[in-house]
Amino acid sequence: MDQEAEKKSVKKVSKRIIDLNKKQSKGVIAGKADSVSNNLKLQKINWQPWGKNAFETAKKENKPVLLDLSAVWCHWCHRMDHDTYDTAQVIDVVNSKFVAIKVDIDQRPDIRDRYNFGGFPTTAFLTDSGKVITGHTYLPKDQMLHLLAQVSTFYNSLKIEAEAKQSSMQAKKLQSTTINADKRLIADKEITLSYNTVNKISEFLTSNFDSTFGGFGTQPKFPVTEAVELALLQCSKESNKNKENASKDESTIAANKKYTEIAKQTLKGMLGIFDKVEGGFFRYSVTQDWTLPHYEKMAESNSELIRNYLNAHQLLRESVGNEFKDVAIQTLAYIQNTLYDAKTKTFFASQDADEEYYKKSKEQRKKLSKPYVDKTIFTNLNAQMISAFLRASVVLNDKKYSEIALSALNYLYKNNANTSGNVSAGFMHYSLDNKDRRNIKDNKDNRNKLHASDLDSHSGLLIDQVYVLRALLGTFQVNQDRKYLEDAEKLFAYIKSNFYDKDDKAFSDRIVSKEDIGYLQFPDKSLLDNSLLADSLVRLYSLTSKEEYHETAAGILKAFSHDFNHHGFNAAGYALALEHYLFPIKVVIVAKKKNQVEELLNLVLAAYDPRKSVKLLTSGDKKELAESGYAVEPTPTIYICYGTMCSRPIKSYEEFVKEFNRIKGIKK
């Protein structure tokens, strides 16, 4: 999700929404209405799924399209369902003068990203070819009726304007693409990937850091997990420079202190949106000081926050004790208690924003129904949780977390892969046999019909493949089972053959089809998605030594080398991938047998540095041992390689820590 765009819109409309909330009935409590909200409306407004039939109807009847982008966890989506779409006047006008399309943004993030007007719900009006006429977020009944009348009355002229505007945009895009194509070969040779970019993005962190409350910017405040990770990495690098330099250079010490403050204060500040009763983080804070949460809980953000707090514990525990570890453990417990299905051994997507429930004490909550949980098994969200639980298994030295992760991965293999059990054909966005998992009580047949076309035709997105790729590489490093490394290579082959733009040398968010409608015809190349992929490709290169992965990662990073500026601190994911590319650290453990080094392997994996990849070679890996020149000795040996250099043979974990820290502190 693009937090930049959403944050701007949230800031603009939040005051208006809060005022409306005060004026309107207090009888609508999200937690009580959420599980059936969409279905009640389905019985009244003739909602249709996004697809060919809906747009053909609009064209045949010369009607504008009303597009509602909503989510099952979204409080204001439910409010609009109740306040606006549940009123007789709106129902009558929409059914008679519009073709109404409702899209679940979790099921269709590709539509969300192209038609999002900065927040949810998004209320967009389109032509019969999918071009945008206008759009808004939450609209109360009277404003909605006014807008419906305007769009309906002037549709034909608005349609001409929208189509003309889109044609102009397409012409400019084509011209720009042609110019870029002519210059690309020269540009590629001129682009040099360097630490200057990493440093510039790191400066975005310092210039946007809220030194009073932690986090970045003013309000609303979202957890920006990539920015926290970049601050942690910079803190780790600078800290080890201090240890290496006897002179204790003042600028280095100041830099270390600066990034330590950013990481520590942000992690402490975000505890304002942490549920101290049940654990887990709410989605964001409406206020700058993190004291007014927006109460939905998302698997997406919680998985990445688990990793943040575990990594911060590894790095900062001398100054904060076990505080960050305890937060991670409580969040893991929340996930297991609420967003985990013990039957399928998979993770659910979200829990609704029931403000009344979350304001209660532990004892008071026991008397209330828990907020509704979306039980859809999304591939990307499960893969993110798998990575979080793998990290927990090594940092907390507890195999139960890796067992949970592996079980979830096995489910994805069997149920979410396009070909069951085979990663070579990629992964769908969510399980096809999972369409009834949302526990809809009323009018279930109608709801399933609404999303039928999505379920039957929508293949997986780039982000699904990217997060599974990351999870496969993480699984391999934890259990050193070559199957997962081989599957990572197979999955990337699928990614490259289906999502790669050989001209731009970057990857599109979805597989484009001739049948695509509206803005879905235009590929979107996300900076974050591509950065995550580049990061995994550097790791795949470190673990396989295959140059293709290194070259593809370089191509991605060069493609976005001039695009990061306008993202500000939200380009932190790109900086992390670039830092990894420029200074990958490969740790090789050589031993007779795997069971000889299980404890050592866990300790090495737990050591903090996101640029680190770990591989075990045993007596059976004769070819790799011969190629690398490593010898199997009675005592396990560790080698740390960086750039073209490798350390001397290391015989103990204590020696490893010392050498690892020395390498991390090398001034670049």
Out of 158-167, 446-455, 465-474, least confident range: 446-455
Query: Helices then strands (H, E): number in the chain?
Result: 27, 19
228 and 127 in one domain? no
Q: Which two tokens stand for residue 342?
A: 């013990």
State which of 324, 354, 384 marks the end of a domain: 354
- pTM as predicted: 0.90
203 and 147 in one domain? no
60 occurs within a structural domain: yes
Count of structural domains within the chain: 3
Identify the CATH number of the domain in which residue 26 sits.
Answer: 3.40.30.10
**Strands 340-341 and 297-298, how do they pair?**
unpaired
261 and 160 in one domain? no
71 occurs within a structural domain: yes
Give the Cα separation of 83 and 563 in Å (integer).
Answer: 41
Helix (H, G, I), strand (E, B) or coil at 290: coil
State which of 320, 354, 388 marks the end of a domain: 354
Backbone angles phi, psi at 474, to 5 degrees: -65, -40
254 and 113 in one domain? no
417 occurs within a structural domain: no
571-625 pLDDT per residue, tens = 999 999 999 999 999 999 999 999 999 999 999 999 999 999 999 999 999 999 9
106 and 231 in one domain? no
252 and 112 in one domain? no
Range of the domain at 226: 195-333+349-354
39 occurs within a structural domain: yes
> Mean pLDDT, to the nearest integer, of 229-233?
98
Give the Cα separation of 257 and 266 in Å (integer).
Answer: 14
154 and 16 in one domain? yes
pLDDT at 241: 65
361-373 pLDDT per residue, tens = 999 999 999 999 9
Question: Model confidence at 94, in pLDDT bands (50, 70, 90)?
Answer: very high
206 and 90 in one domain? no
Report which of residues 522 and 241 the model is more confident about.
Answer: 522
174 occurs within a structural domain: no
pLDDT at 667: 73
208 and 90 in one domain? no
Q: Is the pLDDT of residue 239 over 50?
A: yes
12 occurs within a structural domain: yes
200 and 78 in one domain? no
474 occurs within a structural domain: no
Helix (H, G, I), strand (E, B) or coil at 102: strand
Give the Cα separation of 32 and 24 in Å (integer).
Answer: 17
318 and 210 in one domain? yes
pLDDT at 548: 98
Type of residue numbered 281: F
273-309 pLDDT per residue, tens = 999 999 999 999 999 999 999 999 999 999 999 999 9
101 and 12 in one domain? yes
State which of 117, 148, 166 marks the end of a domain: 166
pLDDT at 227: 98
Preceding omega of 220 cis (within 30 degrees of 0): yes
239 occurs within a structural domain: yes
Rg of the chain on CA atoms, in Å: 26
509-518 pLDDT per residue, tens = 999 888 899 9
